[in-house]
Amino acid sequence: MLDITLCRRDPDRIRRSAIRRGSDPSFVDEILRLDERHRLALTDLETKKAEKNRLSAEIAKASDRAAAAASLRPQIAALDGEIASLDALAKSLAPDTPDSPLRELLVQSPNVVDESTPDGADASANVVVRTWGTPRTFPFVARPHWEIGEKLGILDFERAAKLSGSRFAVLRGLGARLSRALAQFFLDRAAARGYVEIAPPYLVTQQTMWRTGQLTKFSDAMFADLEAGLYLIPTAEVPLTALHGDEIFDATALPIRYAAYSPCFRKEAGAAGKDTRGLIRQHQFEKVELVRIERPEDSFAALEAMTADAAALLEELGLPYRVLSLCAGDLSFNSAKTYDLEVWLPSSNEYREISSCSNCTDFQARRAQIRWRREPKAKLELVHTLNGSGLAVGRTLLAVLENYQQEDGSVVVPEALRPYVGADRIAAAE
């Protein structure tokens, strides 16, 4: 949700951001116009209410209250009429009235793009910030992970389809174990870097979804039981960020770092025909999500740190990757700045997203009302929230299979995972 105060104070900044995202900035003028009308109505309303309160207080002070009430009744009744109509008008214009035009504009507008986010209209303008590792050269044709996995008997897409349709996978034996090993590895590393592990609910209310801004982003991409009013989380970012909704921190409580391992559920409605094979795009996948709650002045440094936290995992696993700074046009709704981590996939000779780290600044905090106090008596401020994958388990698993595949079809387990997997190689079962 956009900050109405910022719109008033620095409308050009909002306009600039909209233009950089590739949208029409004229809504800013509409916001200012509606805001002006609302404040006028509010002032009128409050004046009338003050008058009425004064009359009521007179009755309270009178020695004969009944008589006072009787004599003032006509005046009060007149005020009541004016108050009712002014109240209706003010409400219809208010920024916090659910379907008011002003509210709609503030709520539907994406976050203000940070200055350091590169210009550009779409993914082709994303900037490679750095690249790590050298893709391995294979003396044979590198196979895609689904072939490797099926041959090893650790991935079973056919039976998954029998159970649940397309975009599901069954992991078996060391495949299942490798998946669990990755999750455990990620969580252990997160803990070592100061993230507190959280096991959140996977079903959340519509309000929780709304608070983190997912309802606009994933609304038709989410699984839900509308009757029960519960949504399956598309990412643990949702419960982690909303965890402290309506709370006020004192300065010593910040920063907060959370890590959660959770399944994620997505309809992938807009991705028909894309990535239909393998583990890349599933209706259900697991992920370790990192969330940080920061002081505003620290949030961009925290984004660098969080991105480094995620990247360190790939480095420890020996998986080549690159870091992209997403351009303004490719930035998601909530984000002011995003780094994507892309891992190297030898079967397709390309880098694929395995983590996305975003600084949502105060955008989600405003919706969720997560605030803090700089000094004991200071005014309340919104915190900044950040989230990033650290990492997506399924995609890491497939990256391991592809990057560590051997000519005989077996897969070497990366050193760092061996204690977790309990094996240094995955070979075909007899």
Q: Which residues are catalytic?
A: 266, 281, 353, 356, 395
Site map (CB under 7 A) of RNA, residues 362-401, x = contact: --------------xx-xx---------------------
Span 338-367, contacts to RNA by CB under 7 A: none
Please, which residue, 30 or 122, has the CB nearer to RNA?
30
φ/ψ region of 369 (left if φ > 0, alpha if ψ in -120 to 50, else beta) reads left
Do residues 214 and 238 make contact, with C-beta atoms less than 8 angstroms apart? yes
Q: Could you tell me the two tokens for 59?
A: 């009755």
φ/ψ region of 194 (left if φ > 0, alpha if ψ in -120 to 50, else beta) reads left
Do residues 312 and 189 make contact, with C-beta atoms less than 8 angstroms apart? yes
Under rule CB under 7 A, how many of the chain's residues touch RNA? 30
Please, which residue, 50 or 272, has the CB nearer to RNA?
50
Span 39-98, contacts to RNA by CB under 7 A: 39, 42-43, 45-47, 49-50, 52-57, 59-61, 65, 69, 72-73, 76, 80
Work out how close the CB of 419 gets to RNA at its nearest, in angstroms, rounded to a whole number.
30
Please, which residue, 64 or 424, has the CB nearer to RNA?
64
Please, which residue, 105 or 399, has the CB nearer to RNA?
105
Work out how close the CB of 72 gets to RNA at its nearest, in angstroms, rounded to a whole number.
7
Do residues 402 and 144 make contact, with C-beta atoms less than 8 angstroms apart? yes
For helices 101-108 and 27-61, the axis angle rounded to 10 degrees is: 130
Instruction: Give the interface segment with RNA, choosing from 36-44, 341-349, 351-359, 396-404 (CB under 7 A).
Output: 36-44
Span 170-209, contacts to RNA by CB under 7 A: none
Q: How far is CA 17 from CA 52, 77, 170, 367, in A?
A: 45, 49, 44, 19
**Pairing label, strands 371-373, 248-250:** parallel
Q: Tell me how far apart the alpha carbons of residues 252 and 269 are, in angstroms, rounded to a whole number.
A: 43
Site map (CB under 7 A) of RNA, residues 211-250, x = contact: -------------------------------------x--
Work out how close the CB of 50 gets to RNA at its nearest, in angstroms, rounded to a whole number.
3
Q: How far is CA 395 from CA 179, 351, 389, in A?
A: 10, 12, 11
Work out how close the CB of 46 gets to RNA at its nearest, in angstroms, rounded to a whole number.
4
Please, which residue, 84 or 128, has the CB nearer to RNA?
84
Span 239-298, contacts to RNA by CB under 7 A: 248
Q: Tell me how far apart the alpha carbons of residues 196 and 369 are, in angstroms, rounded to a whole number.
A: 22
Q: Give kind and range of the element (H or E) at residue 262.
A: strand 256-265
Work out how close the CB of 114 gets to RNA at its nearest, in angstroms, rounded to a whole number.
23
The conformation of residue 321, written as its DSSP 8-state character, comes to E
Please, which residue, 65 or 277, has the CB nearer to RNA?
65
Q: How buried is residue 360: exposed, middle or buried, by Cβ count under 10 Å (0-12/13-18/19+)?
A: buried
Work out how close the CB of 151 gets to RNA at its nearest, in angstroms, rounded to a whole number.
36
Site residues for RNA per CB under 7 A:
4-5, 39, 42-43, 45-47, 49-50, 52-57, 59-61, 65, 69, 72-73, 76, 80, 248, 376-377, 379-380
